[in-house]
């Protein structure tokens, strides 16, 4: 610190001896100058919009945007990887989840600790079955509408609003295929119903063509039905063709 003081003092004395070194001057203009040539960005955008409105291009873009929104509303993106069921199969699904971290109220009270296993069916019941169908196949829609008892029809593909207008009843849609992914659904129609603290998922094959007059539509199997063993459906189909 003692060695720095003489250096600072010498710098101050030098500045006082050379007053021009710390003063500012207007040195004038050197060389040619030009005005700023770039147009104002906001003015350019406004002029472009005015031109698009005059030519009708803006109205066309707005109509195209409305048409895309209507299409997404009328026919949402289908759940990926679904296909028609080819054989009757049933399996059980455990809906329980494990809490990843503590869940607390705003006041800090613990609701569920991390690692807790929670099964919603231990506290609530599934009041109605869920019928997952491909709305692009008329046979699956006819099958779902023919089922007895209240059930929610959930589309994995198709046009729910069109079906609602045609049949006068609600049709739900699995947006983004979240339920299909959660339940592991790959084939339609699939019936999801409660079986104790688990869910029973049954895949029901439906003919591609609607049934002829007087024929009954396939029904989802009851719990007492025996599910066919592998190959039995193919043998039955061969007998019908013969």
| 4 — pLDDT class (breaks 50, 70, 90) | low
Mean pLDDT of 23-36: 71
Give the angle subtended at the CA of 110 by the CAs of 104 and 113, to the nearest 5°: 95
Please enumerate in sequence order all residues whose Cβ is within 8 A of that of 201, keeping only pairs 6 or more positions apart, or say none: 90, 91, 92, 93, 183, 184, 185, 190, 191, 192
Task: Pick the more confident residue, 218 or 13.
Answer: 13
Please say if the pLDDT value at position 11 is more than 80. Answer: no
Cβ count within 10 A of residue 177:
18
**Given this model, what pLDDT does residue 225 score?**
46
Answer whether residue 199 shows pLDDT above 80: yes
* Residue in 102, 128, 129, 136 with CA at minimum distance from that of residue 116: 102
Tell me the per-residue pLDDT of 104-162, one tens digit each, with 9 for 90 and over. 999 889 888 888 899 888 888 888 889 999 999 999 999 999 886 778 999 999 999 99
Tell me: pLDDT of 55 over 80: yes
pTM: 0.61
**By C-alpha distance, which of 136, 180, 181, 138 is closest to 159?**
136
What rounded mean pLDDT belongs to the chain? 78
Residue 14, pLDDT > 60, answer no
């Amino acid at each position: 610190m003692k060695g720095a003081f003489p250096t600072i003092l010498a710098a101050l004395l030098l500045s006082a001896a050379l007053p021009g070194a710390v003063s500012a001057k207007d040195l004038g203009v050197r060389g040619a100058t030009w005005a700023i040539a770039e147009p104002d960005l906001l003015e350019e955008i406004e002029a472009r919009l005015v031109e698009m409105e005059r030519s009708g291009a803006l109205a066309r873009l707005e109509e195209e945007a409305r048409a895309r929104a209507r299409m997404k509303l009328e026919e949402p993106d289908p759940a990926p990887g679904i296909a028609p069921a080819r054989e009757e199969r049933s399996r059980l699904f455990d809906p329980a989840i494990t809490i990843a971290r503590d869940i607390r109220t705003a006041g800090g009270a613990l609701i569920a600790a991390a690692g807790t296993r929670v099964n919603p069916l231990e506290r609530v019941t599934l009041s109605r079955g869920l019928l997952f169908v491909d709305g692009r196949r008329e046979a699956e829609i006819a099958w779902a509408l023919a089922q007895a008892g209240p059930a929610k029809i959930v589309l994995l593909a198709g046009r729910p609003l069109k079906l609602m207008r045609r049949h006068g009843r609600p049709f739900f849609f699995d947006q983004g295929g979240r339920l299909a992914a959660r339940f592991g659904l790959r084939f339609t129609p699939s019936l999801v119903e409660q079986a104790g603290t688990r869910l029973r998922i049954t895949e029901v094959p439906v003919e591609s063509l609607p049934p002829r007059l007087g024929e009954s539509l396939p029904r989802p199997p009851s719990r007492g039905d025996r599910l066919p063993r592998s190959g039995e459906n193919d043998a039955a189909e061969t007998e019908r063709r013969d």
